[in-house]
Structure formats: structure tokens, C-alpha cells
Amino acid sequence: MAQADRNAPGRAHPPYDIVAIAASAGGVFALTEILGKLPADFPAAVVVVQHLDPRHRSLMPQIFGRRSNLPVYQAIESMEVQPGSVYLAPPDRHMLINRDGTISLTQTELVNFVRPSADLLFESVAAAYGERAIAVVLTGAGKDGSMGVTAIKKRGGTVIVQDEATSEFFGMPGAAIRTGLVDFVLSLDEISGALVTLLAGEVRD
């Protein structure tokens, strides 16, 4: 299994196990850019909340999969997240990551007027992975993700936010920045490289 291989003798364990990414308006382009630049040997799981219209079938796995070097899946209940794979929250379902590395999907009430919620994803990732988690907040209206950023930092994780100049909508990134808990504010072009650097253990805040 990938988990066993990653921890095999002679291979350094990366300092992070999971990257949780949240986006809303303008996010499809931003996510395509980031996922398209992550290398095929990226050693962490990537879990993604992109706010979508729940009335339409999601084509996000196909859209991102065409550009990504990593396999891209729409999350299903009890699926186990694996290093080097991308998992997308399905439309109209909150996605949470459990302590055993499996996915839970719920249709509980809206959070910040949205479902799926970045806050719920980030909070679950913080509880499950602690300091071994990275949260990324990309372009989007509203403030979803700001409470989750606080949870990530309280557990020792790392937070990256897209800058205003490259965000189509700065509501979500701006709300995250106002928490005062963001480690890196980066342009869209810089985020994938920063993730690779962090996973290589070359930067720790």
C-alpha cells in the first residue's frame, strides 16, 4: 500500500500528511492551476472543497483530472485518503476527514450559507492530523474557511492563502487573513511550489 511504502526504511517521512484546499467563485481556474503543477510523486493526500451549484452534476473530477499529474476522485463515504491523490467534495455534501484517514460525507445544515463547507473540512483535518496538515484558502466570496483556519493553527498546522492581486474574489482569502493566523500569503503561481517545498521539509513556520 502507498502508506506502507511511504514509511518504508530509507525513505524520509514528509513533514505533512494532508493538504486541504478550499475555493469558491473563481476557484475552478485556481485549482486547475495548482493541481496541474503538483508533481506525480507529491507525498501527501489533497482534499478539496469547491463550492458548486448542487443542482448540476459535478464534472470537476474530469476537469481537474485532465490537468493534474495526480489521480483525482470525487469523494465517497468511507473512502480512505491516500498520499499522492486528490479527493473532491461532491456537490451539496459536507466532507470531513476522520482520524483513521477515511472520508465522511454529510448533508447536515449549511455552514456560512454553503455546503460543502471549508470550515468543517478544515476543522476535521485539524483534529485528525494536527501539525501535519496544511490548509489553503483560494479565491471566493464570503468567509468560509476562516474558522477552519483557526482550528488548523490551534493544532499546529500551516496555512496558505491566495493573495488579493491574483484572487478573482478576495472574500474568503481576506477573511482568513483577518484571523491573523496565516503563515503565507502567495500569488496563485507560487502556491504549488510552496506546497512542494513544505512537503520536502525545507520550510517550517
**Which of the residues are catalytic?**
24, 51, 144
Distances (CA, A) of 193 to 33, 35, 46, 100: 11, 11, 15, 28
Q: Is 12 exposed, middle or buried (0-12, 13-18, 19+ CB in 10 A)?
A: exposed
| Closest to 30 in 3D by CA, of 14, 44, 51, 56 | 51
Contact 46, 87 (CB under 8 A): yes
Contact 25, 141 (CB under 8 A): yes
